[in-house]
Amino acid sequence: MSTIRSIRPTPTTRTPARVAFVGAGPGDAGLMTVRALEYLAEADAVVIDQVAREDVVARYARPEVEVVDAGHGEHGQPLTHASRAKLVVKAAKAHPRGLVVRLMDGDPATFNGLAEEAAACVKAGVPFEVVPGVSSVSAVPTYAGVPLTTSSSRGIHIITAGEKLKDIAVATDPSVTVVVLGQPDTLVGTLEALRLAGRADETPVAITERGTTVQQVTITTTLAEVATAAKSMQFPALAVVGDNVSLREKLSWFETKPLFGWNVLVPRTKDQSGSMVRRLERFGAHATTVPTISVEPPRTPQQIERAVKGLVTGRYEWVGFTSVNAVRAIREKFEEFGLDARSFAGLKVAAVGGVTADALRDWGINPDLVPEGEQSAKGLLDEWPPFDELLDPINRIFLPRADIATETLVAGLQQMGWEVDDVTAYRTVRAAPPAAHIRDAIKSGNFDAVVFTSSSTVRNLVGIAGKPHPSTVIACIGPATAKTAEECGLRVDVLAPEPSADELVDALADHGRSLALTAQESGEQAVRPSQKRPTARRRAK
């Protein structure tokens, strides 16, 4: 007789999340490592540091990610290392088997309390790992144009402001570059203590606030004049003390970018403006996107559904995409019907430009025709082959487009012998007005420039937010857009030589260089357009 034993299930425990201590760098998100961005994209929760990183989280993390503020308490006071450690452990336990990213300013292991927080994880049984980041100690001086070492200055001494000077001999050695980090009041006091300890009065000093960001400000002075020069400081800063500071006049590369510090308005959706925003940032600008149109499905879907079915059954020789929105609309309709990119086999596909072509490639479709010259409906028409009865078995083209698309492309293709099914794939309607502070910034001149990429963006922006202030530089992608801007009472300052987003940004950068050069030749200090506020309303030429 066999004995049957009852088997009790082994009790399970809630495995806490894995914690990744990730270096966010000193401010410029472009300095974050590849692994840091990968972890942000995977994170279930992000614990941010004293410097607000909501914009970084919004840009790289999932929309549903939980954001925990470990910088300040309920009353605005900075949290202690112990309090932050508790928040990290609590977040890990709240997301079992997940990933919590502890986003730390600069490098986690440099002046950031990594040891305390990691020790708390060990005590709580929370596994962790560390992703090093770029430290402000090296990055901020580099962005200020001050190398920390040269052939004659090979030593670096780092001091936290407010602490007592310890190694006086090193700190006062003329061949050693001293880096001081801290709040304005303690920073000045430490620099004064350095002078009293024996560092020469005439030693050059560079003090940088909000380093590596487009709000970066650097002042140069001497140890003897620090107290006077630093009166305007308001933010935590980094000071470099040493003869290397004198190289800043020649090596300043960041603050001399043509659009440095410019606040540029981009009237496009975030999906459409990504490459333009990145290019503006490379020139030193801060870009703010404001959607001026909203994309909606056609009122009656029958026409687009018939066209998609015809595409699958071999009705067309070509499919021409004139926008990313058209690609998205057809892709959504395909997914609705249970189809995929394989249905394009045997078809020839055209894209109006590089951005639209990239959207097709993301779908697994490599376009056969992308204009090498002008990336517009006219440019596409110029390179589209005419219908040939011997080479083309079918004479019909499918054009999924917006409800407000012009007839130029259709008429041109018909003249070349093609039959065209011009189908409304989506409707464009005016977007809701932006937030009140954005509208006020547009009207009051807080934006240095606006970049218009189509006539509709001009009309819609003016319609939902009002006319930009007279001081704002108006940049247009082409003559048609410029004409619309002038009809709306705006003076066009910049016109792209070719109708592309990259050319438009480059033209704006050239304009910024010209303004700086003019100011330099006049012996004046270059200022941003937003710092000039004429009272007269901008008039069209």
pLDDT tens, 123-167? 999 999 999 999 999 999 999 999 999 998 989 999 999 888 888
**Chain position carrying tokens 């004659």:** 152
pLDDT tens, 206-238? 999 999 999 999 999 999 999 898 888 888 899
DSSP string, 472-534: SEEEESSHHHHHHHHHTT----EE-SSSSHHHHHHHHHHHHHHHHHHHHHTT-----GGG---
Q: How confident is the model at residue 203 (pLDDT cuts 50, 70, 90)?
A: very high
Q: Which of 537, 290, 300, 261 is nearest to 433 (CA)?
A: 290
Higher pLDDT, 372 or 86: 86
The residue ranges of DSSP E strands in 232-299, in sequence order, are 237-241, 263-266, 286-289, 293-296
- Range scoring the smallest mean pLDDT among 44-53, 115-124, 457-466: 44-53
Cα separation, 455 vs 374, whole angstroms:
17
Helix (H) / strand (E) containing 194: helix 184-196
Cβ-contact 455, 481 below 8 angstroms: yes
Q: Which of 222, 216, 218 is nearest to 192 (CA)?
A: 222
DSSP string, 343-389: GGTT-EEEESSHHHHHHHHHTT---SB--SS--SHHHHHHHSPPP-T
**Residue 173 clears pLDDT 80, i.e. is over it:** yes
Cα separation, 212 vs 25, whole angstroms:
9
**Chain position carrying tokens 């001399």:** 256
Q: How confident is the model at residue 271 (pLDDT cuts 50, 70, 90)?
A: low
pLDDT tens, 75-85? 667 788 889 99
Name the β-bridge partners of 41: none
When pLDDT is averaged across residues 24-49 and rounded to a whole number, the result is 93
Cα separation values, 90 from 85, 155, 323, Å? 9, 42, 46
In this structure, the chain runs to a length of 541
**Residue 270 clears pLDDT 70, i.e. is over it:** no
Give residue 279's pLDDT: 93
Give residue 280's pLDDT: 95
When pLDDT is averaged across residues 424-430 and rounded to a whole number, the result is 86
Q: Which amino acid is at 174?
A: P
Give residue 534's pLDDT: 55
Give residue 533's pLDDT: 65
Give residue 59's pLDDT: 85
pLDDT tens, 293-344? 888 888 888 999 999 999 888 899 999 998 888 999 999 999 999 998 898 9
Is 0.85 surpassed by the pTM of this model?
A: no
Cα separation values, 504 from 44, 234, 265, Å? 38, 35, 13
CA 166 from chain center: how many Å?
Answer: 42
Give residue 1's pLDDT: 46
When pLDDT is averaged across residues 393-403 and rounded to a whole number, the result is 89
Cα separation, 61 vs 37, whole angstroms:
8
**Residue 3 clears pLDDT 70, i.e. is over it:** no
Give residue 419's pLDDT: 93
Cα separation, 13 vs 6, whole angstroms:
22
Q: Which of 358, 293, 349, 363 is nearest to 321 (CA)?
A: 349
Dihedral, CA atoms, 89, 40, 61, 208, nearest 10 degrees?
Answer: 100
Q: How confident is the model at residue 378 (pLDDT cuts 50, 70, 90)?
A: confident
Cα separation values, 83 from 57, 135, 253, Å? 22, 23, 40
pLDDT tens, 434-460? 999 999 999 999 999 999 998 889 999
The residue ranges of DSSP E strands in 377-445, in sequence order, are 396-402, 419-430
